Amino acid sequence: MDSKIRCGWVNLKNPRSIRYHDEEWGRPLHDEQKHFEFLMLESFQAGLSWETILNRREGFRNAFADFDAQKIAKYTDKEVKQLLENPNIIRSRLKIVSAIENAKIFLMIQKEWGSFDRYIWHFTEGKIIDHHPKTLKDLPARNLLSEIISQDLRKRGMKFIGPVIVYAHLQAIGVVNDHVEQCFCRSAKV
């Protein structure tokens, strides 16, 4: 075990949690497939712990065509049935069907904006919002920005995409930097 100080939500006994925090969370992201992956995983996380999702991430990757929105958008009732029988993912019919519909909306946003990345980062004009939280207690579950974005995404037809999920997405993709002040990621080169 290393001596690095990390954000308090990281389970130091779970290598997946450590790796996700150290290598992905809060780092500015501009990859379309990763955007969709994070949106999908965050929507499946609703009502569950993030660690539950991280532990099934590979199962999701295999079940959902490596998070390829174009392939997922074409899923039919046959694929839904298979997914509902897959023990390696969260088997919620509502979340599975929403993931398929959300893939279609994601593709529509890409077409309209040129990329989902351009769409999501335009809300801050490409700037990172740095909160400088001292502890986890200083982190909001949502904010005005996540309210605005989730409202826009729901208006477009996305499901399981409320302001808490959107805020988690903004944190994950680095639009919002919520690494606590003592976290080594604050001084790491991103």
CA-CA distance, 86 to 93, in Å (whole number)? 12
pLDDT digits (tens, 9 = 90+) for 67-105: 999 999 999 999 999 999 999 999 999 999 999 999 999
For residue 68, how far is the Cα from the chain centroid? 15
pLDDT digits (tens, 9 = 90+) for 106-124: 999 999 999 999 999 999 9
pLDDT digits (tens, 9 = 90+) for 120-173: 999 999 999 999 999 999 999 999 999 999 999 999 999 999 999 999 999 999
pLDDT digits (tens, 9 = 90+) for 1-51: 588 999 999 999 999 999 999 999 999 999 999 999 999 999 999 989 999
Q: Which one, of 176, 189, 174, lies nearest residue 34 by Cα?
A: 174
Q: Which one, of 180, 174, 177, 173, lies nearest residue 41 by Cα?
A: 173
pTM, whole model, 2 decimals?
0.94
Residues with catalytic annotation?
20, 42, 50
